[in-house]
Chain A
């Protein structure tokens, strides 16, 4: 399993863009990069997934450089409700087990 490293915590203010970078130096060729979001007292939920370049959906954007050794989750114009823990996961197609680290706690202030 590819090991991931992401910041423990980040603070932001409403309306700002939040960028969370995840390092995964030993990512394998067939690994995908997936981000989950977890609100207090809830289970994680899928945000976005990518393999290379850029992926965007209604919630976030995911930027992956050519070497794929890192990725950046971008949350545009955050609100108080975006306060959550964000997990970066890296893994291949034939592995059933997701490996969650401690994640990044994002706190959005008014």
Chain B
């Protein structure tokens, strides 16, 4: 299995609170992604990174920001959490970023916003 860890694995927070999720990889892959998964929607891309300090928005980026200061770490921040952001968040990595390149997914973070 690819070396991807996510922290925390579970979090309960209150509306309006800032939350940061961390994705850490040991594969030295260039591309990193954050997805959210909700019932009936599959996985939806929030943000992705194509290198240190290089990031771009996905299809559901509103309310989220990201940062990548090192190759191995990709942080997802909810500046002011809302109940609609209750979800399971997955980080993924890929070597080249090309679509036929396999993406490797982390174990996920389950976030509950009360």
Where the two chains meet, the residues of A that have a C-beta atom closer than 8 Å to any C-beta of B are 31-32, 34, 41-46, 49, 87, 89, 91-103
Contacts and interface: CB of A to CB of B under 8 A. Distances in A.
Contacts of A46: 102-104
B58 interface: yes
Nearest to B6: A43
Query: Which 4 pairs across A and B sit closest by C-beta, in order of nearness?
Result: A43-B105, A91-B99, A100-B43, A100-B42
Contacts of B98: 93-94, 96
Category for how many chain B residues contact A: 20 to 34
8 contacts: A43-B92, A49-B100, A91-B99, A96-B97, A97-B48, A98-B33, A98-B43, A102-B40
Contacts of A96: 31, 48, 50, 56, 97-99
Contact of A43 (B42, B44, B56, B90): B90
